[in-house]
Structure 1
Amino acid sequence: MLSPDKNRLDYGEQLQAPEGYELDAAIATSYSVDLDTLLAVPIALCFGNTLEGDLRGEKLALLEAISRLNKRLKVFYQKGNIAQPIAFNQLFTLLEPCLYPIVPDKAFSSFHPKLWLIRYTALEKNIKPAVKYRFIILSRNLTMDRSWDVAVSLAGELKKKPNQEAANTYWLTWIENLLESSTDFEPRREFLRELPRIHWETPSGFDSTPEIFIGDSEHSPLKFPSYTNDQLLVTSPFLSKAALDDLQSYAPKGERYLFSRAEELNALSDKELSGWKCYAINENMVNADAGELEPDDSAVAGKPYNLHAKLIVSRKASRVCWHIGSANATNAALGCDNQMPLNTEAMLRLSGDNRKVGPDVLMEQWVGVEEDENGLFVRYKPQSEAVDVRHPATNQMREIVFDLINSDWQQEAILRSEDDKYDLHLSVDGFVLHDHHNVEIQVSQLAFGKPLPLIDKMFWSDVAVSEVSAFVPVKVTVQVTGEEDLVEMVMIETDLDIEGGDNRQQEVLKKIVDGEDKILNYISLLLQSQPDKSQWLAFEKMNFSNNNTDGSFFSNSPVYEQLLWAAAEHPYLLKRIQVMVTEFRRAGISLPDDFATLWSHFEKEVPSK
């Protein structure tokens, strides 16, 4: 269930491949993306490890994991919603091909679904089944946020016949449309062919086939089995009166519970909250010291443990229905007054018995039998008047940001013959600044800043290849008389063209693996059947003075022994070395002579698939 002290889900663990399998491909959707978080994801996907540890900086482990995901990972997100990182990392440039920006239809619409669809393949031919799937639906974005979220992870079995139990097939069409839009995503054909034949497991506590609903301008993200429920429990960090009124109609005479943030409840009057038993997330929990709940991490230090979970639970007699996923209890997410939603959302519907998964079970876990002050949620007393704390320029800011992301951003890196550096030319087509009064917009470069006022064409000179990035930070300031300025940071992923070709990955590789000893240690790490994350992350701090690179290499080298073992027991490991050798040649990195001779013999043992 959802007991906050027991039912904790480790994000990294859910991304890991099952034993005996490896990642083949993955797609994800998110409203927003944090680049440092996205850098850490490949560690779980490729190395079968959790996301703990110091994953910051330009590390070989991150480079290797991202390289393995080349054209195998695609993240669809709302254009502009990339968080400004604390520090620039050259490896950010390697994430550019993984990201696919989506522009919503309107200024007040959002691309808001949060899910993962992952395909794993068996490491050995004798392992059955050859393919496994995993589907994860969340309320959390791909960020370092510390808020309380919910998630469901489902294992999928690929069968010969289509899944007839899944009555709703629109989500398959929606996924197919995303895949078709990303033509450089090589595994899309396998996904398109196999998706209808995946049969999803039913999570513990529930007893019906999971159903996935996509909400958009033509479809609702919710499908209640009954319109006259005995109980309704709504959990949402953001609220609107119209959406609550609409939800209330599904339990007009039943008990209704509302869980949210205090500031959102404050924005509604007691009349607007009439008929709801309201609970706010405990302020003591929101402002808890980081050390009390998780190890210190500067990436999340100072961020509150606020509510971000989205869950709607309805009960009719002994039957209970859950909707869990990305949709808030707002007009934009759910639609209301017979209007379809403005947002694109994803929700999972599960059904079960009231004794196991009913609202009363959640109430006991979240507020306790006595509703004391130590629970995750505490009773909220509605105010006589609503308190709207929104900045008066909020709507104007949203319109400006939409115009920015709806424009065409083209960036060229022009190679300078005299010093191998680049001049950056950025053009923006479709945005008209004079349409927005009292607004200041500055555009800078992710690696080195140097902000410039937004105009049709901008220029930066003397840029090293390591500083070239498609990601462009944009600072928008709206000035309102008598109010503090409203400031928002937007990160635009431009269409980047690098004269002479994109060799940024090769430059990072040369920087990290800059000696024979490091090359041999890199090879040794690649030959681990169970990658040791601690060794990978310690690569940059290793003492490389003890490796034997003299004439006794063949007989005494641990790499030689590892190659023998790999050829005999796990030939797929040799494929990793073959890929590494290809990347080294592309980057102009020379292999140690002894290893090159050794590899010429083992290369013949590399499996064809």
Structure 2
Amino acid sequence: MQPDPAFDPENRELYTAMMRAPDGYRFDHAVATTYSLDFETALAIPIAIVFRDAENRDEMLRSPLALLQSVERMAERIAIYCDRGRIKSANPNAARLMALYEKSIVEVSAPGGGAFHPKLWCLRFQPEKRGEPVRMRLAILSRNLTNDRCWDLALCLDGTVDYDEENGSNEPIARLLRALPGLANRSTRPTEPAFLRSLVRDLQHCWWSDLPAGATRISFAVNGLGTERWEPKKGERIAILSPFVSNEALKWLVDGYAEPGASQLIARPEELDCLNSSVRSLFQVQTLDSRATEFEEGDEEAADTGNLEGLHAKAYVVERGSRLHIHLGSANATVAALVPTKSGRTQNVEVMAELDGPKTRMGTIEQALFSEGFKRLLIPYEPSEAPTEDARLAAEKLLDRLRREIAAVPLDLNCNELGDLVGLEVSVAGAVPVVELPDGVACFLRPITVANLSGHDAAALFQARVPLAVGHLPLGDVTRWLGVRLHHQPTNMECSFTLGARLVDLPEGRDAAVLSAHIANAENFFRYLSLLLGSLGEGSFLEGEAAGEGQWLQRFGQGGSSLLEPMVRALNMGGDELREIDALLRRLDSPEGDGNIVPEEFRELWASFAPLLGSSKARR
């Protein structure tokens, strides 16, 4: 019996669902790679880990305390690597919270000069019961860490760690993870995450169970790090699913497929328009029907399942003898992703997974890829006029080139205490080529926590290395993130993105200042405690919110019994939540904090618990 079609659009996987720990396990650490990201989606990941059933990002973003707590607990256990210059611009409110998440996000570049383009998550889960094996999850994606609404693919694998035997097929992924810290700019490179080496070790000893799509084998490949690279094995028939395509890459992929109808191609129509007709003639060509993804206004059920737009999935399906090979991951059918340069490696860094099995289990190309549900989304391609190089398209290319050049410049954000404020000055941190701004192009820079979206003229910074003062901010608004805005005056086109700088001479207590800004009164303090203790069964922060403002404060006023019970439970379970409360109190009592936030009644209750924290480890 064949499994459900691997490419059926009804088989959906929520991004946040991949973060949920298996039953009997808890989240430990994770490493992720992405081409682009936005802060709101990045913040949704720690939220999803803390609140397993909370998948409504908009609702969470309206709860700053929930965001703050989840970021605080998870920031040191997650590392996210993305392509330089591909962090989207952010609103000031979301940006303030990123101060506590800024060490988790590292901008890197591809050694071959192209894009850092892999999309994966590698997660480790620890067992709740002693003696159970460590579990891991590996997700190979075509989706970036953004809120884009495109058709994407995800391969999610779960496995257990066996320290007695290595799984050699995982080595390409392990090699990619080991290389990540070294891909950051040498001048401002952060330290390697403390957990990275042990996570890679566990990955090398992890064996995957229950392969999807009827596959019996799985393997991985990474392009762009060395001369080893991925290419699909040749077979009798091939189907290519790729939003972006190029003539040379497609000819290379179908070389040897001479039979009529042996090669099929699904791509975006605007990309197909740019291909040579001789290349298109090598394929049966289809594209996504935009009408198939629309839903009738007011049809809420359809809006939940059908309002995706555009093709972003990448897959290569090959029939080879009696077996079917499904390759999926980040690589488009383009020269930068697939075709090696003179150095022997590709321009882009890409990651691919290959599922392999007999056609009796996996099916044929028609059965695996062209399911009835997927075929409904497709229409035959009808050629249109290739786009002409008009002024706006030329300006868009120019701004994107300048984005890449500016993103390659290492920056320091120098801090200078000025009373209650911190003066900020941006300077270039290393010896790199200057960025020449053509006539008619302006560049502006700003700390992303300020509402002044116009920014400060940064031409002298990038062209002459003249330090740029970017304002005076409260300590709680200081982050390493800078908003960059490029403006092409003749066409009035703009390109906005976020860059990370290295914080220099950051005053002590910045994290405490961020915390105090969101826990500004006694009521919020108790709401924060409810969140810390909510995972112990006393109801989550959102449940407290639904029950009415100030519920925890009111219940504490009734004798404190409602806080006493979960605190005792936390002590008996090891005291981790109580240690977080202890750290919170210490920070709020620091010179930079605001000890007045903590009510005296709670201090009296806490005096009974604080001496017991040192001995609570014995209860584990």
- Return the TM-score normalized by structure 1: 0.87
Identify which of 330, 338, 341 aligns with 1:326: 330
* Per-residue CA distance 1:505-562 (angstroms, 9 max, x = gap): 3223223334445444433443333573632765994445522346x44xxx022222
In 2, distance between residues paired with 1:58 and 1:498? 31
8 Å contact from structure 2 (residues 414, 505) kept in 1: yes
CA offset at residue 105 of structure 1?
A: 3.8
1:460 and 2:470 aligned: yes
1:262 and 2:269 aligned: yes
8 Å contact from structure 2 (residues 265, 285) kept in 1: yes
Q: 1:124 to 1:540 in 2, by over 3 A?
A: farther
Percent identity for Structure 1 against Structure 2: 23
Q: 1:279 to 1:560 in 2, by over 3 A?
A: same
Partner of 1:300: none
8 Å contact from structure 1 (residues 11, 50) kept in 2: no
In 1, distance between residues paired with 2:551 and 2:51? 23
Q: 1:596 to 1:565 in 2, by over 3 A?
A: closer
Partner of 1:240: 246
For the residue of structure 2 that corresponds to 1:596, the secondary structure is helix
1:281 and 2:282 aligned: no
Letter of the aligned partner of 1:402 in structure 2?
A: R
Identify which of 37, 41, 56 aligns with 2:41: 37
Partner of 1:142: 145
Q: 1:121 to 1:35 in 2, by over 3 A?
A: same
Within a 5 Å distance, the mapping from 1:489-508 to structure 2 comes to 489-501=496-508, 503-508=509-514
8 Å contact from structure 2 (residues 341, 347) kept in 1: no
Partner of 1:92: 98
- In structure 1, the gaps of 5 or more residues are 298-302
Within a 5 Å distance, the mapping from 1:198-597 to structure 2 comes to 198-216=206-224, 218-219=226-227, 221-225=229-233, 227=234, 229-249=235-255, 251-253=257-259, 255-288=262-295, 292=299, 305-335=309-339, 340-355=345-360, 356-365=362-371, 375-383=376-384, 386-387=386-387, 391-417=393-419, 420-428=420-428, 430=432, 432-434=434-436, 436-448=438-450, 449=452, 450-454=454-458, 455-456=460-461, 457-478=467-488, 484-501=491-508, 503-527=509-533, 528-529=535-536, 532=540, 534-535=542-543, 541-549=549-557, 552-553=559-560, 557-568=561-572, 571-572=573-574, 574-588=575-589, 589=595, 590=598, 592-597=602-607
- In structure 2, the gaps of 5 or more residues are 184-189, 462-466, 590-594
8 Å contact from structure 1 (residues 288, 304) kept in 2: no
Partner of 2:159: 156
Letter of the aligned partner of 2:504 in structure 1?
A: D
8 Å contact from structure 2 (residues 570, 578) kept in 1: no
1:599 and 2:604 aligned: no
For the residue of structure 2 that corresponds to 1:135, the secondary structure is strand
CA offset at residue 477 of structure 1?
A: 3.0
For the residue of structure 2 that corresponds to 1:249, the secondary structure is coil
Pairwise CA RMSD: 3.0
Range with greater deviation from structure 2 (233-242 or 260-269):
260-269
* Per-residue CA distance 1:293-342 (angstroms, 9 max, x = gap): 77989xxxxx9611110111111132111111101111001116886421
8 Å contact from structure 1 (residues 146, 305) kept in 2: yes
For the residue of structure 1 that corresponds to 2:132, the secondary structure is coil
Q: 1:422 to 1:8 in 2, by over 3 A?
A: same
Q: 1:444 to 1:523 in 2, by over 3 A?
A: closer
For the residue of structure 2 that corresponds to 1:195, the secondary structure is helix
CA offset at residue 291 of structure 1?
A: 6.6
For the residue of structure 2 that corresponds to 1:200, the secondary structure is strand
* Per-residue CA distance 1:29-81 (angstroms, 9 max, x = gap): 00011100111110122332342251214522211111111321110001111
8 Å contact from structure 2 (residues 267, 287) kept in 1: yes
Within a 5 Å distance, the mapping from 1:40-119 to structure 2 comes to 40-53=44-57, 54-57=59-62, 59-89=64-94, 90-105=96-111, 109-119=114-124
In 2, distance between residues paired with 1:475 and 1:395? 15
For the residue of structure 1 that corresponds to 2:232, the secondary structure is coil
CA offset at residue 87 of structure 1?
A: 4.7
Letter of the aligned partner of 1:237 in structure 2?
A: P
Q: 1:490 to 1:295 in 2, by over 3 A?
A: farther
- Return the TM-score normalized by structure 2: 0.85
In 2, distance between residues paired with 1:58 and 1:586? 22
8 Å contact from structure 1 (residues 71, 184) kept in 2: no
8 Å contact from structure 1 (residues 257, 278) kept in 2: yes
For the residue of structure 1 that corresponds to 2:486, the secondary structure is strand
Letter of the aligned partner of 2:28 in structure 1?
A: D
1:176 and 2:178 aligned: yes
CA offset at residue 288 of structure 1?
A: 4.5
In 1, distance between residues paired with 2:36 and 2:498? 10
CA offset at residue 5 of structure 1?
A: 4.3
Letter of the aligned partner of 1:138 in structure 2?
A: L
In 2, distance between residues paired with 1:377 and 1:496? 50
In 2, distance between residues paired with 1:582 and 1:235? 51
Letter of the aligned partner of 2:199 in structure 1?
A: F
Letter of the aligned partner of 2:428 in structure 1?
A: V
In 2, distance between residues paired with 1:45 and 1:179? 24
CA offset at residue 497 of structure 1?
A: 2.4
Q: 1:438 to 1:548 in 2, by over 3 A?
A: closer
CA offset at residue 289 of structure 1?
A: 6.4
For the residue of structure 1 that corresponds to 2:55, the secondary structure is coil
In 2, distance between residues paired with 1:472 and 1:408? 12
8 Å contact from structure 1 (residues 34, 85) kept in 2: yes
For the residue of structure 1 that corresponds to 2:382, the secondary structure is coil
Q: 1:357 to 1:105 in 2, by over 3 A?
A: same
For the residue of structure 2 that corresponds to 1:546, the secondary structure is helix
In 2, distance between residues paired with 1:190 and 1:273? 47
| Structure with greater proportional helix content | 2
In 1, distance between residues paired with 2:512 and 2:292? 46
Partner of 1:133: 136
Letter of the aligned partner of 2:240 in structure 1?
A: V
CA offset at residue 428 of structure 1?
A: 3.0
Q: 1:434 to 1:525 in 2, by over 3 A?
A: closer
Q: 1:341 to 1:184 in 2, by over 3 A?
A: closer
CA offset at residue 209 of structure 1?
A: 3.0
For the residue of structure 1 that corresponds to 2:536, the secondary structure is coil
Range with greater deviation from structure 2 (464-473 or 232-241):
464-473
